[in-house]
Structure 1
Amino acid sequence: MASSRSSNSLVVPGSRQALERLKFEVAQELGIQLPADGYYGNMLTRDMGSIGGYITRRLVQMAEQQLAGSPMR
């Protein structure tokens, strides 16, 4: 039976806004226009996958820098 608890729950309070900013920043860098109304159903899967991949890459890079003790940019 399926659990009602989402596996995508955020651990750090306030991180949702930071992730949203990162999504828009990455989309702008890639030249992908995100819809103003927040409905992503008409977006190409390839574009959304690119955004997600770059976000993941950036988050891993940030974590590596933090673990290495170097300042984040």
Structure 2
Amino acid sequence: MAQGQRTNRKVIPAASAAMDSFKWETASELGVQVPQGGYMGDLPSRVNGAIGGNMVKKMIAAYEQSLAQGNKPPTPQVTNQTTTP
């Protein structure tokens, strides 16, 4: 993998378990059968893209809902994360 492609890191590392749970929940809602052990690398990219796209839609909807209720969720402080080979 090229060095510039290692950017798939959680902004808040403590949210990793919650994001995995969210991924399985979204896959289940779409009717995708997650293989035993949770490895999804054998699924077609179209299926994985649908899961990720629906996750983003749900996150945006939740943010919009909180704004409509007058609550502004906190914005995480993003630091410049550099990768080392």
Amino acid at match of 1:28: S
Structural mapping, 1:1-40, within 5 Å: 6-40=6-40
Residues 3 and 48 of structure 1: CA distance in aligned 2, closer, same or farther (over 3 Å): closer
TM-score (norm 2): 0.64
2:61 corresponds in structure 1 to 61
Matching residue's letter, 1:58: K
Greater C-alpha Rg: 2
Structure 1 runs of 4+ off > 3 angstroms?
Answer: none
SS at match of 1:31: coil
Deviation at 1:67, TM superposition (A): 2.5
Q: Structure 1 stretches of 5 or more lacking a match?
A: none
Q: State the distance in 2 between where 1:59 and 1:45 align.
A: 21
1:50 lines up with 2:34 in the alignment: no
- Where 2:39 maps in the other structure, the secondary structure is coil
How far did 1:13 drift?
4.1
What is the root-mean-square deviation in Å for CA atoms of aligned residues? 2.3
The one of the two structures with greater contact order (alpha-carbon pairs below 8 A, sep at least 6) is 2
> Matched residues, percent identical?
36
